[in-house]
């Protein structure tokens, strides 16, 4: 992958959005990726994602779609990202539904999101899954363990409070920052832990 990056200037990231609750997080992810010079985004939207977006977000779906460089329907198995010969830097599934997690963990590539993840895994590329469910059942935990053992990075959207978030946007941006760290990308809206404040004597 590194040698290929030397031959091309841009970074290519696949973003898969499923129908799990929390689709607004994908909007902030795409905004962050859009702000990175030379980052090319390949967006895959499931039918469920489109439905959940209508239920959960006041932002027009088109506004998120416009943040991507390329957009694909989940049924488009002929898309470039369905082939290992099309080199990318990896994939993020945000949010990742339990059905999608199960498909990725078992290799059952019934749609483009799962197929693209399968391709990244077999090619040794980074795959970050952001599972959205509460509580996790035994089968969910088993599938996350399986996906992790296959090389995926599991990043649950856990709230963080050490950064003193003032808004939901602050919380989402922290999650986005944690995801981007997996690709070696620094995000200016992410506040890392720097240790306890020094106590004055």
Do the annotations mark residue 148 as ligand-binding?
no
105 lies in a domain? yes
CATH number at residue 27: 3.40.50.1950
Residue 171 lies in a domain: yes
48 in a structural domain: yes
| Pairing, β 90-96 against β 11-17 | parallel
- d(Cα 42, Cα 68) in Å, to the nearest integer? 6
193 is a domain residue: no
Q: What is the pLDDT of residue 4?
A: 52
Rounded Cα distance between 187 and 173, Å, is 9
Residue 198 lies inside a defined structural domain of this protein = no
- pLDDT for 8 equals 52
Per the domain annotation, does 187 fall within a domain?
no
Residue 186 lies in a domain: no
Q: Does the annotation flag 85 for ligand binding?
A: no
d(CA 133, CA 173): 19
Residue 21 among known ligand-binding residues: yes
Has residue 191 been placed in a domain? no
134 is in an annotated binding site: no
> Would you tell me the crossing angle of helices 24-34 and 168-181 to the nearest 10 degrees?
60
Residue 194 marked ligand-binding? no
pTM: 0.92
Known binding residue 34? Answer is no
Kindly tell me if the per-residue pLDDT of 167 is higher than 60. yes
Structural domain boundaries, residue 111: 2-181
- What is the reported pLDDT for 6? 44
Query: Structurally, how many domains does the chain consist of?
Result: 1
pLDDT in tens, 37-73: 999 999 999 999 999 999 999 999 999 999 999 999 9
| C-alpha of 37 from chain center | 19
């Amino acid at each position: 992958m590194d040698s290929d990056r030397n031959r091309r200037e841009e970074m290519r990231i696949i973003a898969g959005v499923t129908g799990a609750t929390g689709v607004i997080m994908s909007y902030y992810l795409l905004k962050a990726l859009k702000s990175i010079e030379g980052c090319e985004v390949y967006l895959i939207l499931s039918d469920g994602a489109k439905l959940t977006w209508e239920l959960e977000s006041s932002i027009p779906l088109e506004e998120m779609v416009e943040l991507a460089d390329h957009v694909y329907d989940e049924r488009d198995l002929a898309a470039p990202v369905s082939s290992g010969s099309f080199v990318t830097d990896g994939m993020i599934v945000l949010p990742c539904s339990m059905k999608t997690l199960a498909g990725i963990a078992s290799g059952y590539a019934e749609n483009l999101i799962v197929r693209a993840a399968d391709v990244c895994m077999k090619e040794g590329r980074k795959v970050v899954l952001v599972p959205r469910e509460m509580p996790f059942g035994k089968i969910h935990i088993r599938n996350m363990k399986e996906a992790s053992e296959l090389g995926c990075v599991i990043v649950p959207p856990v709230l963080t409070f050490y950064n003193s978030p003032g808004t939901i946007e602050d919380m989402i941006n922290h999650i986005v920052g944690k995801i981007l760290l997996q690709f070696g990308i620094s995000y200016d809206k992410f506040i890392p832990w720097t240790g306890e404040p020094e106590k004055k004597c």
